[in-house]
Amino acid sequence: MALAKKDQERITYAWMYGVQARKDGKERVVPEVWYESADGWLQGFDGEPIIGADKARLVGDQMEAEIDETGVSEPRQSTS
């Protein structure tokens, strides 16, 4: 289901606040200010992934070709 960017942001923030509420030991009740994003709040509270976030993001072949071992090795120390 495609959502407008603003709606997706609201769901994302509701999900993050739901996660924090669970960590803080609060009840699984959607606060009044989050009623319109209640699904996102409850998903965050229950530890479920956000809508559409269930697909793993894969690194493409082009990215793999651009990055080699020297590109990801530890930075060199300056000799100054």
Query: Looking at residue 33, what is its pLDDT?
Result: 85
Whole-angstrom Cα distance, residue 31 to residue 41?
Answer: 9
Do 47 and 22 touch, CB atoms closer than 8 A? yes
Lookup: tokens for 75: 């930075």
pLDDT band at residue 56 under the 50/70/90 scheme: very low
The mean pLDDT of 60-75, rounded to a whole number, is 61
Query: Looking at residue 63, what is its pLDDT?
Result: 60
Is residue 32 exposed (0-12), middle (13-18) or buried (19+ Cβ within 10 Å)? exposed
Looking at residue 27, what DSSP letter applies? Answer: -
Query: Looking at residue 62, what is its pLDDT?
Result: 62
The string of pLDDT tens digits covering residues 6-50 is 888 888 888 888 999 999 999 999 989 888 889 888 988 888 877
